[in-house]
Structure 1
Amino acid sequence: MLGKLASLLDRPVVLRRAALASLVANIGIVCTGGLVRLTGSGLGCPTWPRCTEESYVTTQEMGHHGIIEFGNRTLTFVLGLIAVIALAAAWRQRRRVPGLLAAGVWMMAGIVFQGVLGGITVRMALNPWTVMAHFLASMLLIALAYVFWHRTRDVPPRWTAPAAIRTAGIVVTAVSAVVLVLGTVVTGSGPHSGDTKAARTGFDPETVSQLHGDAVFVLVGLTLAMWLGLRALGAPLRVTRAAALLLAVELAQGVVGFVQYFTGLPWPVVLLHMLGACLVWTATLGLLLAVSPRAERPAGARPEGELVYEGHSDASTA
């Protein structure tokens, strides 16, 4: 039995699928956490780590709010299990890709930290600043999971991007992070607090929404400029596609943002906007990695001397 398990963990495809599952699960738990807040179930389990002072699970008296909040807590264990499988596979295959195991360890540590931060958020009665930190910690976890997944993929040799393009990739990523931070400020100032008793930041929602929107326009402009620059430089198709994907996701997210703003923030649209934030962030990371140099070879990559570029192979003995 153990031999079969070890054999499975030695397979690159198992590692890749576990890494992708971890990324998807991290995005999914952001959405379920959003559902907790948007349905007013943030204190459905009013304490932590227990759900009540007497029980670790929700009770009938707590109604649907308790079920929603406890369900989100339960998903943390699913997320952890997936991460354990991915980390075990990374350990078995650690010699294939330098740095892969370290990325897995950081991802697991982030899940533990996020769980504790979630408990602190509950114990502080959904203080908006801890709620904001909880969401941003999830963005960090998504970044760790994305890097881990990216390192397991079979990818072509990297295009050596000019220094200006690499700098632009960093700037786009930084502005994307600013957009996320301002988005949490908007959330912490708006009506969906997670519970009727939860405090708000005290900022004017109109003002912070305008700041958030301005940052989004800057991000879209920078992404468009980067896409045009990559095309002008004759960058590989996979690189220009990464920029085009980010631009498309940003525009779609902008449409959702306008819809939620002008329709009075209905919770299904807000939840879709949260999913869009995760997708913008992952697309941003995809573009950053597409233009950033990396020395290590991905798991399952072809032997040295055989190059793969844009779908074509070239066996070289040079």
Structure 2
Amino acid sequence: MRGWKRFTDWLLPRELTRRARAFAWASLATEIAIVGTGGSVRLTASGLGCPAWPLCTPDSLVPVPELGFHALVEFSNRMMSGVVALVALFTFLFLARQLRARRELFWLSFALGVLVLVQAGIGGITVLSSLESYIVGLHFVISAAMVVLAATLVWFVHLPAGRAAPLPRWVRGLAWTTATAAALTVLVGILTTGSGPHAGDLDVARNGLPTELMEHLHAWPAYVLFGLTLLLVLLAWRNGFVATRNLALWLVGAEFLQIAVGLYQSRNGLPALAVGVHMVLACLLLAIMTAVVLSTTRPRADTRTKP
């Protein structure tokens, strides 16, 4: 009995532990990584490599040799989904007893676990619908939301239980406006990708939107986002909001990379590798953007310096 109690105390700790913090980071890392593996499925035209779901074929859980390379790529992404699910499960278990003391940790980890199941269902619908473009896009939207939730969880597991006062309303408003521009940029980017050549399978129809026009519509909110972020850096610097300034500088770096990759891919016929990098960077950008917003709404006590 004593050994069982030790095991349950390890699996369901009463306190916020170092392993809970480590698994919060692992949740964020795996949520971003699965966007990369999912992108590889789409960009190598392997979306129907496993033609059935949840089995790879009607008679086999794993790929059979006859299906070849594309089945291995698609099945690898399914296995990555299992890794994400396990990480989400252990993250929730390590935080399950925080419902009273730190309820935000409980509900964030719970929401991530629920969305893993939702994503599995949408993944199945994606295959069964033969990669319908808007369902594939929804799959990415849910992934982006999970990245934001995981980034929020990482922030909160490192935040003391006591709440520090938020930064002034004007800087919070600017941070949220910047976040809105980031969300709009990603959403238009998803539609742009859905109009391009990377459908996940050579015989799948695109969403019918004009790709060249969508590239311009995608670029406009991206440039607005870049300008708002520079303004946020400047004002945070002048007012001594150290954490917001530093995180916004990281955001500028991510946006600069995104703009560079976006320009490269649009001028070189949307090469698959560049599109994949663009997808992963989008999720990294959303994670940093989340931290910027949280640094203004739920800051640590040491986020300001004296003017």
TM-score strictly above 0.5: yes
Q: Which amino acid aligns with 1:107?
A: L
Q: 1:161 aligns with which of 146, 154, 167?
A: 167
**TM-score (norm: length of structure 2):** 0.92
1:245-299: CA deviation from partner (whole Å, max 9, x where unpaired): 11111011111111112222221221111111111111110101011147xxxxx
Partner Cα distance (2:26, 2:148) in 1: 14
1:154-176: CA deviation from partner (whole Å, max 9, x where unpaired): 46974631111111111111111
1:64-96: CA deviation from partner (whole Å, max 9, x where unpaired): 100110111111111111111110100134444
Does structure 2 retain, via aligned residues, the 8 Å contact 1:121–1:130? yes
Question: Which residue of 2 is the match for residue 14 of structure 1?
Answer: 19
Q: Which of structure 1's runs of 4+ aligned residues deviate more than 2 A?
A: 1-11, 92-96, 154-160, 307-312
Task: Name the SS of the counterpart of 1:99 in structure 2.
Answer: helix
RMSD: 2.0
Question: Which residue of 1 is the match for residue 195 of structure 2?
Answer: 189
Q: 2:103 aligns with which of 94, 98, 105?
A: 98
1:208-233: CA deviation from partner (whole Å, max 9, x where unpaired): 00010111001001111111111222
Q: Which runs of 5+ in 1 are unaligned?
A: 295-306, 313-318
Does structure 2 retain, via aligned residues, the 8 Å contact 1:19–1:148? yes
Question: Which residue of 2 is the match for residue 212 of structure 1?
Answer: 218
State which drifts further: 51-60 or 175-184: 51-60
Does structure 1 retain, via aligned residues, the 8 Å contact 2:295–2:303? no
Q: 1:102 to 1:154 in 2, by over 3 A?
A: closer
State the 1:2 CA deviation.
3.5
Task: Name the SS of the counterpart of 2:103 in structure 1.
Answer: coil
State the 1:32 CA deviation.
0.1
Q: 1:207 to 1:173 in 2, by over 3 A?
A: same
Q: 2:291 aligns with which of 286, 289, 308?
A: 286
Task: Name the SS of the counterpart of 1:309 in structure 2.
Answer: coil
Question: Which residue of 2 is the match for residue 242 of structure 1?
Answer: 247
Partner Cα distance (1:187, 1:310) in 2: 38
Partner Cα distance (1:2, 1:64) in 2: 45
Percentage of pairs with the same residue: 33
Q: How does 1:52-63 map to 2 (within 5 A)?
A: 52-63=57-68
Q: How does 1:55-134 map to 2 (within 5 A)?
A: 55-134=60-139
2:180 maps to 1:174? yes
Question: Which residue of 2 is the match for residue 260 of structure 1?
Answer: 265
**TM-score (norm: length of structure 1):** 0.89
1:70-128: CA deviation from partner (whole Å, max 9, x where unpaired): 11111111111111111010013444423211111111001100110011111111111
2:36 maps to 1:34? no
Partner Cα distance (1:2, 1:270) in 2: 49
2:123 maps to 1:139? no
State the 1:310 CA deviation.
6.3
Question: Which residue of 2 is the match for residue 309 of structure 1?
Answer: 302
Higher helix fraction (1 or 2): 2
Count of matched residue positions in the alignment of Structure 1 and Structure 2: 299
Q: Which runs of 5+ in 2 are unaligned?
A: none
Q: Which amino acid aligns with 2:134?
A: W
